[in-house]
Amino acid sequence: MIRELREDVERSVLSPSATLAARSRGRVRPEAECEVRTCFQRDIDRIIHSKAFRRLMHKTQVFLQPEGDHYRTRLTHTLEVARVARAITRALGLNEDLAEAIALGHDLGHTPFGHAGERALNTLMASDGGFRHNEQSLRVVDIIEKDGRGLNLTAETRDGIERHTGGAPASTPEGRAVHLADRIAYVNHDTDDAIRAGILSETDIPGEIRCALGDNYSKRIDTVIKDIIEESAERGDIVMSPRISFVFDSFRSFMFSRVYSDPRAKGEERKVFGLLEGLFRHFASRPDELPDEYCETARADSPRRAACDYVSGMTDKYAIYLYGELFIPEAWQMR
């Protein structure tokens, strides 16, 4: 079989620390292997063909309703993470397919309106344990997709999705590569978008950061990726060197203070909370109005969990449209 030939190639070519498809811990529901694709390649296809993946195109990254076509969305962020993760894992002889599957699935549970939406749902779900997009991403692939059947992904892909941010590190080197790739991608592309929006200029970035990482977007990404590859090869884990890690953390802190809290990036957050709160409370109190695929969750878990699943999966535009349909008199709506 073609799949078995590919598995043989992995055994002969990849690093001893790589996660081999033939040694996967398997799926929650056992199923026959594909004749052509490895289990991780199959995960990639299942994620790409999911409804949640398609919706990423219309979900905000940082800037709410930006004017212009060149700002990142949650989908373009996901693709950039995948490319960075593949560059790292390829150079280190790790399993690119697993890294790509994790990267493509890592933000499937993200809310509309970027991190503003996540903060809103975390507040609204406080009595139910809060809301974290990595946990929701796992919920999407395990439960929500395919009308409640989930995508039945491999244990390694699921682990990487759940652990791509915060808490314990992923159990595979490929998952740990995605964790760093996510940080590299968002800090750098959010800087690029902030410059495009006029919030920053290149010279606003502290000199020590530009000196250590580079004086433009491409150089900074190149510097950090090369550092990870060199340091990881030497130390046997997926890490940055102490110097670059310190500078990169400073860069990330700079972005939080200058961009992520800037009124032009955050100025609409109050409205986001009000909009998502209205939708959440409406469906939590009227679960019979939820789409059919969420009704079982309302019965088996709770109407609040079902409402959270539904609202968190919406695109920005659909959330705005539905809020208007539910709460704004038709004569007042702009057509």
CATH class, 2-266 region: mainly alpha
DSSP conformation letters of 13-31: HS-TTS--GGG---BSS--
> Which residues, listed in sequence order, are joined to residue 154 by a DSSP beta bridge?
27
What's the pLDDT score for residue 329? Answer: 81
CB within 8 A of 200, min separation 6: which ones?
A: 191, 194, 258, 259
What's the pLDDT score for residue 264? Answer: 64
- Regions of the chain short of the pLDDT cut 50: none
Q: Please state the pTM of the whole predicted model.
A: 0.95
What's the pLDDT score for residue 250? Answer: 98
Q: How far apart are the two ends of the chain, measured CA to CA in Å?
A: 56
Write out the two tokens for 274.
């009000």
What's the pLDDT score for residue 317? Answer: 93
What's the pLDDT score for residue 124? Answer: 98
Assign 27 to helix, strand or coil: strand
What's the pLDDT score for residue 63? Answer: 60
What's the pLDDT score for residue 260? Answer: 81
Which residue shows structure tokens 């449209």? Answer: 321
What's the pLDDT score for residue 268? Answer: 73
Q: What is the pLDDT of residues 74-91, one digit of tens each?
A: 999 999 999 999 999 999
User: For residues 19 and 183, what is the distance between their CA atoms, to the nearest angstrom?
Assistant: 22
What's the pLDDT score for residue 72? Answer: 84
What's the pLDDT score for residue 267? Answer: 63
The domains of the chain are located at 2-266, 269-332
What's the pLDDT score for residue 132? Answer: 97
Q: What is the pLDDT of residues 97-143, one digit of tens each?
A: 999 999 999 999 999 998 889 999 999 999 999 999 999 999 999 99
What's the pLDDT score for residue 66? Answer: 57
Structural contact between residues 163 and 175, judged by C-beta atoms closer than 8 angstroms: yes
